[in-house]
Structure formats: structure tokens, C-alpha cells
Chain A
Amino acid sequence: MLSSSIKSAVLPVLRTFVRFKSKADVSPSTQRVIGQMSALSASKKQPKVIRLSNEDLIKHKSIVNAWNLYRRRKVSRQRDQLNKQYQSIVDAMEDLKQSEPELYVWANTKQTNKKFPLQLRVPTDYPPSQPWVYNVKK
């Protein structure tokens, strides 16, 4: 009687022990997605918010303002130069029209078969090993 009551009290507590750690129930593809999501999500990966003091905030704003002013001046300088260049073309063409009508027609015809040269290089941060090509095949 006693032994059976002990048995009933103990039995539910008994567990079957396995030799190796059980694998998660998710399939490998799901596990991969979980891994990717953990790399992409912000959970626990965000840095502490920067709390600037008043003085630092003023410093930061000054830096940004100085940069904006610098950019604005640079852009307006470039725009002025472009306007001048455009005005130069207009002046030259107007003069050609008046004085040399024949040259004006030649200068004003559209060059349709002209192609942009592929050899013209886009600037990079560091030069190539041979900065300039000297041999030209004609």
C-alpha cells in the first residue's frame, strides 16, 4: 500500500535520459532564416544613444553649418563658372553668325555619328601602375 503510493508520487518525476543533447525541432532551412534574421535585426546590437551636452550640441551644429556654407559657396562658384562658359559660347556663336555665316553653319551642325571615347578614364583614388598610355595606333 505504502510502496504503491510512493511509486505513484515518484513515477511522474522520473524522466528518460538521452545520451546526446536533443536537436531543436526546427528544420535546417528555418534555422538558417533565424540566423539571418538575428544578423539583420537590431536586437541587442544597437549602440548607446549619444547624449550631447549643450556645448557639444552647439559644436556639432557649428560643424554642420560650416559644411553647408562651404558646399553652398562651392556650388555657386561652379554655377557661376558654368554660366560664364555658356555665355561665352553664345557670344562666340552670335559673332560668327554676324561675321562668318559659313563658319557659323559648320559650327552649328549636329555631329550625329560622334561617339563618346571609351578611353576617357573615370578618376580613381589611386593611379594605375602606368598612369598614361603613350603608344597610339593610327
Chain B
Amino acid sequence: MKGRILGRISLRAYSTDLKPVVSSTLLISRTPIISEELTAFESQYYKYNNELWKRLMWTFPKWYYYKDGTISEQMFKELNPAPVFNNPNVDFPNGRPEIRQGRDRRFKQELKLPKTYSTEVERADETAAESSDNLSRKIVPNSRITKADETKDLTSLERKLARTLYLVISLDGNKWSLPNFEMSREEKVPLHKLAETGFQSIGGETVNYYNVSNTPCHLHHSENKKEYFIKSHILAGKFAPVDNSTKFMWLAKEELQEYLEGAYYEDVKHLFNDV
């Protein structure tokens, strides 16, 4: 196996006799901030399993959590009225109820618990800070779709929170590529250092990043040039190009296919995350 790989590499011929330029390509990614989007099949399967689980669940031991005669028991009773009892004088065409511990054991038990917050309209004079200090307030999660998604802002780091985004830049605003930095023939520096200094020089000064390794993760041969790929994650901060003519975007895998050159994308696509 090893011999075959070595043979393939050493057989490669470049268009000129000059040794190919060594360069370092930075594969900087923004890791997902929220969990993966479920496919239709996944969400249906989870729903099915969840319903089965609820159907097979034991009856809620009400007497243990709500002592008889307390106010909380009263509130619980009001929210959860008793099921129709097995009246011997009534005919039940769809099967007779089997009531055990206040639950019809033929079906899942659906419980409603008393809320800690009032369901009425909030006080008009209550400020936002006051209401956020209120520990018993209703918890409303933030939307998974951000403003950047709505405005289709491709340069924002807040777009597609569920996906891994990769930085692509364009010097002329026409041809897009991953940030690539060439090594000078005189002075040699480690590949990951080359990528780091190069990234800082084009506008990564205000970025907190984490280089995964000093080992390159891929080699791409192009016309008299060798591109070694260095993986990195952006942790905080914003990429702000030094040169105003430099354009940049944060793109997910499928979008990269549109902007990168076809053969180049085919060679490097396995480096990008599907999620």
C-alpha cells in the first residue's frame, strides 16, 4: 500500500523543471453551535419511539408527590381530571376502561403539571431586565434561525448555526478559494506557522482560533504548486480583511461546491464535514 502511494507521488511530473512551490492552505471552520437538523425520517422515528415509550410508562405516583388534602394536590386535580370510570350500567363499544390508580391503563397517561408562571398577560410596566430576573418566568428558547439566515448574509458567523462553516476568500471578487499562502524559497517555516502568519496578515488579527495540528491533513497538487492543508477552528472574533478588495464568505459543504472549482472540490470534499 505504502509503496503504491509513494510510486504515484514520485511519478508525478510538473510542467517545469523547477521544484514546485510549497504552500499552505488554511481550512478554518466554525463548528456547529446548535445540534444537527433532523431529517424527516429521523424525526418521525423519534416521535414513534417516544409515543411507544409513553404508552409503556408506569402510572405517575400522584400520592407520593402530592399529599392528600394539600393545595398543590387540588391544583394537580384541576389540571388532570379523572378518566371515565368503568360504569357497569354503561355500554362501552370501544372496550371497557381499566382504571388503576386514577389512570386508564389501556392508554398513555398525559399529565399536566402546575406552571410556575402566570399564563395571564404580563404587567405593562414590567421592564425587560425585571422579567429576565424573574426565576419563575416561562422559558422561551431562542430561535434556531438567526437574522443572518433571514437576510442571507454569507459573511456572517451567525448563519447556519447547525452546520460547520468554512472560510473562503476571493482576491478579485470572481474566483473563490480557500485561503492559501505560499512559502518563500529562501526561508522555510513550518506549514502550520505559515498558515497562521498568512491568515493574520490577510485579516485574522481579530480572530481567536485553534490550530488542530501541525500535521497537514491533505495534499493537493496543482500547476507547479503543492498545497498542504492545515485544519483550524475559529473560536471567537471576526475575520476582517485588511485589503478592502478581499471578499470572504463562511460557507457550508454544499455551498462550497458552488463556489470552488469543480476538480478542486472533488479532490478536497472529504475534508469537509457533512454536518
Contact = CB atoms under 8 A, between A and B. Distances in A.
B204 to A, nearest CB: 10
Given A81-B274, A120-B235, A133-B236, A48 B142 contact: no
B215 A93 contact: yes
Interface in A88-138: 88-96, 98-100, 102-103, 106-109, 111, 116-117, 119-121, 123-129, 131-136, 138
Interface string B12-32: 000000010010000000011
A124 B210 contact: no
B61 A39 contact: yes
Interface of B: 2, 5-6, 9-10, 19, 22, 31-36, 41-42, 45, 48, 55-59, 61, 63-64, 98, 100-101, 105-106, 108-109, 141-144, 146, 157-158, 161-162, 188, 190-192, 205-208, 210, 213-219, 226, 228-229, 233, 235-238, 270-271, 274
A85 interface: yes
Interface residues on A, range: 35 or more
15 contacts: A38-B61, A38-B63, A47-B106, A66-B41, A66-B45, A88-B270, A89-B217, A92-B216, A95-B219, A98-B10, A103-B190, A106-B191, A119-B236, A132-B33, A136-B206
Contacts of A88: 217-219, 229, 270-271
A44 interface: yes
Given A84-B270, A91-B9, A45 B190 contact: no
Contact of B34 (A77, A111, A124): A124
Contacts of B100: 44-45
A125 B141 contact: yes
B101 to A, nearest CB: 5
Nearest to B221: A95
A35 B64 contact: yes
B142 A47 contact: no
A33 interface: no
Contacts of A134: 236-238
B214 A123 contact: no
